[in-house]
Amino acid sequence: MAQEISRDIGPVVLLGPPGAGKGTQAKRIMEKYLIPQISTGDILRYNVAQATELGLKAKAVMARGELVSDDLMYPMVRQRLSQPDCKRGYILDGFPRTAAQAQWLDVLLEDKLFENPRPTQSWPIVICLDVDYNELLLRITGRRSCPTCGRIYNVHFQPPRNDEVCDLDGTKLVTRNDDRLEVIQPRLKAYQEQTAPVVDYYQRTGRLVWVNGDLPMDEVTGQIFRILEARHS
Binding residues for ligand AP5, rule: CB under 6 A, are: 16, 18-24, 40-41, 44, 61-62, 65-68, 73, 94-95, 97, 101, 139, 142-143, 152-154, 157-158, 178, 187, 216-217, 220
Nearest-approach distance from CB 63 to ligand AP5, in angstroms? 9
Helix, strand, coil % in the chain, rounded to nearest 5: 50, 15, 35
- Choice between 10 and 178, CB closer to ligand AP5: 178
Q: Is 231 among the residues known to form the active site? A: no
Whole-number Cα distances in Å, 162 to 145, 187, 222: 14, 30, 28
Q: Which residues contact 210 (CB under 8 A, 6 or more apart)?
A: 128, 130
Nearest-approach distance from CB 121 to ligand AP5, in angstroms? 20
Nearest-approach distance from CB 66 to ligand AP5, in angstroms? 6
Nearest-approach distance from CB 29 to ligand AP5, in angstroms? 12
- Choice between 47 and 121, CB closer to ligand AP5: 47
Q: Is 143 among the residues known to form the active site? A: yes
How many other CB atoms sit within 10 Å of the CB of residue 48?
Answer: 19
Residue type, position 195, single letter:
T
Q: Is 176 among the residues known to form the active site? A: yes
- Choice between 86 and 152, CB closer to ligand AP5: 152
What is the Cα–Cα distance from 220 to 214, expressed in whole angstroms?
8
What is the Cα–Cα distance from 85 to 105, expressed in whole angstroms?
18
**Catalytic residue chosen out of the listed positions 88, 97, 139, 151:** 97
Q: Is 97 among the residues known to form the active site? A: yes
Q: Is 187 among the residues known to form the active site? A: yes
Whole-number Cα distances in Å, 100 to 106, 108, 154, 175: 10, 12, 33, 31
**Catalytic residue chosen out of the listed positions 59, 139, 151, 187:** 187
Let me know if 132 is exposed, middle or buried by CB neighbors in 10 A (0-12, 13-18, 19+).
exposed
**Catalytic residue chosen out of the listed positions 45, 143, 144, 151:** 143
What residues are labeled active site? 22, 97, 143, 176, 187
